[in-house]
C-alpha cells in the first residue's frame, strides 16, 4: 500500500498519532533533562561525597532488598520464570553480600593514599585522592535485571556519585519494581530511575556523563561508545562472548563434579542466558561419549527429562530471542549434530536443555554467542589443541578449564586472552569481591566488583604538597654545565652524586662540554 491509496480520514489518524507520540517524546525529554540537571546540582553541592551519605544509601539498598524480597521474586518469575532459589542466589543474595562488603571497607577505599615523591623534592609530600566522577549513567541488562542494575549502583554510590539507572525494558516487571521502590528508599535528588525502551537509551547516551556503565550486547556497546565519544565520556562495557570450557580426561569423582559444574554454568544462570554461561565444551575425541552420557544423566537429575515437565529452568525472555535460538537449531548441519534435547515449547517460551556433538564450526551457533540452553561439544585430537582453538577466536569473558595438569593450566594462562580464567569450577569467580570482573577485547573492557567497583566510578586525583624551601635553582635558566649535570643526576635519582656535585667534589660529565 502507498500513501495515495490511504483514505484521508486514515491519514489524519496517522498524522494525529505521530503528533501525539512526538509530543510525548518531547515532554519525556524535558523531564529527563530536568532530572539529570538536578542530579548534577546535587553532585556539585558535595553532599554525596560524605561517607555518612554513602553509607546511608548503601543501607537503603539493603533495606530495599530485605523488605521486598518476595516482590523481587515475583517480578523475576514474571519476567524470566526464575525459581526463588535461583533468584536469591543470582539476584538478591549477591547484592546483600556486595553491600555489606562495601559498608565494611568504604572508609579505607575513600581515604587518601600516600604516594612516594623523589627525595630530591624533599620535604614535598604526595598522595592519591579518590574523588567521584560526578553524575553517572548505568544501563543494565534483562537477564539479571535486579543484580546487574544495583551492583554497579553500589559501586557508584560507594564512590560518591549521583546516578541515573536505566533498567532493561525487556524485563518490565523488574524495571517497574525498581522504578517504584528506589525513590521510596534512596535519596531522590541523587539517585533516579528512568524507564523506557531504546529511544530513551538513545537520548540518555547523548548526554554528558561522568561515566557510562553498560551491560549488554556488543552491538549496543558500539553505539554507546560512539555516542560517548562526542563528550569524551569514559565508558565501562560489560559484554560477553563465547565462554569455552576445556574438559581434560578426568575420571571418577573429579569427572562427575566437572560435569555438574559445567551444567550449573550452562543452564543454571537464567537458562543459559548469561554472559558468563559456558558456551561450548572442548574435549578429546576418545572422551566425548563419556562426557555426553554424564551430561545427559545430570541434566535429567537437575531439570527433568521432559519438555513439558521441566523444573528449575528459566524461560527464554521473549519471542525475539526464542526465534533467534530456534534459528540456530534449524541449520541442517546443527540439527544433525543434536545428541540430546532439541524440543521447543513456543507457548511457554521454553527450550529443552540441548547437547550438540561437533556442529559445523562455521555455523552461527559456533560463531555467535548462544545466550540460550544449547551446549555444543567440540572434539579435538589432543586437549592441548584447545589453546589454539580458543586463541583463533575473539577473547571470551571467561575460560573454564577442568584439569589436574599444571602444564595445561600454564599453557592456558600464557597462551590465551580472556577476562578471567577459572580452573576446576564455574561461575564462582563472579562472586569473589577480591577478583575483578570484566572482559577484554570484544568481551568488553573495564572492571568492577568490590574495590574494583569503587575504582571504576572514581578518579584518582594526584595531589602534591610542595614546600617553599629548599629552592632547586638548577631547574631555571640561564643554563650552564653545572645545571645540566644536576638535572642528569636528579633524573637518575642519584642523591649521593648530587651531594658531591653541590659540594664541588664530583667532576662534571664531559658530555656537557
pLDDT value for 509: 53
Catalytic residue list = 238, 275
pLDDT value for 2: 42
Three cell numbers written together for 307: 519438555
Q: What mean pLDDT is reported for the chain? A: 93
User: Residue holding cell 555455523?
Assistant: 363
pLDDT tens track for 375-408: 999 999 999 999 999 999 999 999 999 999 999 9
User: Alpha carbon 301 to chain centroid distance?
Assistant: 32
Contact 208, 90 (CB under 8 A): no
- Of how many residues is the chain composed? 513
pLDDT value for 511: 47
Confidence tier at 3 by pLDDT (50, 70, 90): very low
Q: Between helices 51-67 and 93-110, what is the axis angle to 10°?
A: 170
Average pLDDT over residues 108-118: 95
Average pLDDT over residues 51-57: 98
User: Residue holding cell 540452553?
Assistant: 373
Three cell numbers written together for 183: 525513590
Q: Between helices 252-266 and 288-303, what is the axis angle to 10°?
A: 60
pLDDT value for 8: 59
User: Residue holding cell 534512596?
Assistant: 186
Cis peptide before 478 (omega within 30 of 0): yes
pLDDT tens track for 153-168: 999 999 999 999 999 9
Characterize the bridge pairing of strands 444-445 and 235-238: antiparallel
Q: Is the pLDDT of residue 279 over 90?
A: yes
pLDDT tens track for 189-244: 999 999 999 999 999 999 999 999 999 999 999 999 999 999 999 999 999 889 99
Complete DSSP assignment for 220-250: HHHHHHHHHHTTT--EEEE----EEEEE---
Closest among 137, 218, 141 to 444, alpha carbons compared: 218
* Partners of 400 in the β-ladder: 245, 422
Q: Is the pLDDT of residue 26 over 80?
A: no
Residues whose CB is less than 8 angstroms from the CB of residue 426 and which lie 6 or more positions away in sequence, other chains included: 245, 261, 262, 264, 265, 278, 400
Q: pTM, whole model, 2 decimals?
A: 0.91
Average pLDDT over residues 355-369: 97
Residues whose CB is less than 8 angstroms from the CB of residue 513 and which lie 6 or more positions away in sequence, other chains included: 481
Exposure string of 448-487, with b = 16+ CB inside 10 Å and e = fewer, is bbbbbbbbbbbeeeeeeeeeeeeeeebeeeeeeeebbbbe
pLDDT value for 31: 86
Amino acid at each position: 500500500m502507498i500513501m495515495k491509496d490511504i483514505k484521508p480520514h486514515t491519514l489524519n489518524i496517522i498524522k494525529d498519532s505521530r503528533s501525539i507520540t512526538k509530543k510525548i517524546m518531547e515532554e519525556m525529554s524535558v523531564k529527563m533533562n530536568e532530572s539529570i540537571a538536578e542530579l548534577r546540582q546535587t553532585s556539585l553541592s558535595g553532599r554525596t561525597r560524605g561517607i555518612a551519605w554513602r553509607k546511608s544509601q548503601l543501607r537503603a539498598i539493603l533495606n530495599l532488598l530485605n523488605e521486598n524480597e518476595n516482590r523481587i521474586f515475583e517480578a523475576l518469575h514474571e519476567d524470566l520464570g526464575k525459581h526463588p532459589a535461583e533468584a536469591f542466589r543470582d539476584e538478591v543474595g549477591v547484592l546483600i553480600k556486595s553491600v555489606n562488603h562495601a559498608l565494611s571497607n568504604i572508609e579505607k577505599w575513600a581515604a587518601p593514599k600516600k604516594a612516594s615523591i623523589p627525595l630530591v623534592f624533599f620535604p614535598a609530600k604526595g598522595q592519591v585522592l579518590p574523588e567521584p566522577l560526578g553524575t553517572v549513567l548505568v544501563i543494565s541488562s534483562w537477564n539479571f535485571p535486579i543484580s546487574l542494575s544495583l551492583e554497579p549502583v553500589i559501586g557508584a554510590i560507594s564512590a560518591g556519585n549521583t546516578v541515573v539507572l536505566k533498567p532493561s525494558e525487556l524485563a518490565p516487571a523488574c524495571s517497574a519494581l525498581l522504578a517504584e521502590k528506589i525513590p521510596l528508599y534512596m535519596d531522590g535528588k541523587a539517585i533516579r530511575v528512568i524507564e523506557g525502551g531504546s529511544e530513551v537509551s538513545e537520548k540518555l547516551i547523548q548526554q554528558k556523563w561522568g561515566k557510562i556503565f553498560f551491560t549488554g550486547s556488543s552491538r549496543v556497546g558500539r553505539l554507546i561508545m560512539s555516542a560517548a565519544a562526542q563528550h569524551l565520556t569514559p565508558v565501562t562495557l560489560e559484554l560477553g562472548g563465547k565462554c569455552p570450557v576445556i574438559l581434560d580426561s578426568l575420571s571418577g569423582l573429579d569427572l562427575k563434579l566437572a560435569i555438574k559444574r559445567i551444567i550449573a554454568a550452562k543452564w543454571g544462570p537464567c537458562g543459559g542466558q548469561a554472559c558468563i554461561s559456558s558456551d561450548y565444551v572442548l574435549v578429546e575425541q576418545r572422551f566425548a561419549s563419556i562426557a555426553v552420557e554424564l551430561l545427559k544423566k545430570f541434566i535429567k537429575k537437575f531439570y527433568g527429562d521432559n519438555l513439558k515437565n521441566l523444573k528449575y529452568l528459566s524461560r527464554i525472555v521473549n519471542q525475539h530471542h526464542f526465534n533467534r535460538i530456534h534459528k540456530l537449531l534449524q541449520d541442517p548441519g546443527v540439527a544433525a549434530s543434536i545428541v540430546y534435547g532439541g524440543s521447543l515449547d513456543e507457548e511457554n517460551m521454553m527450550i529443552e536443555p540441548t547437547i550438540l556433538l561437533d556442529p559445523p564450526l562455521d555455523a552461527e551457533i559456533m560463531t555467535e554467542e548462544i545466550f540460550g540452553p544449547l551446549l555444543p561439544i567440540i572434539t579435538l585430537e589432543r586437549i592441548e589443541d584447545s589453546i589454539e582453538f580458543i586463541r583463533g577466536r575473539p577473547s571470551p569473558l571467561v575460560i573454564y578449564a577442568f584439569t589436574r595438569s599444571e602444564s595445561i593450566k600454564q599453557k592456558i594462562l600464557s597462551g590465551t586472552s580472556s577476562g578471567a580464567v577459572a580452573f576446576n569450577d564455574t561461575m564462582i569467580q563472579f562472586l569473589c569481591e577480591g577478583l575483578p570482573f570484566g572482559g577484554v577485547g570484544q568481551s568488553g573492557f573495564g572492571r568492577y566488583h568490590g574495590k574494583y567497583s569503587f575504582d571504576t566510578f572514581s578518579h584518582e586525583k594526584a595531589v602534591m604538597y610542595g614546600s617553599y624551601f629548599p629552592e632547586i635553582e638548577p631547574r631555571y635558566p640561564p643554563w650552564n654545565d653545572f645545571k645540566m649535570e644536576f638535572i642528569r643526576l636528579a633524573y637518575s635519582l642519584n642523591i649521593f652524586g648530587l651531594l658531591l656535585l653541590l659540594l664541588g667534589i664530583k667532576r662534571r660529565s664531559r658530555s656537557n662540554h
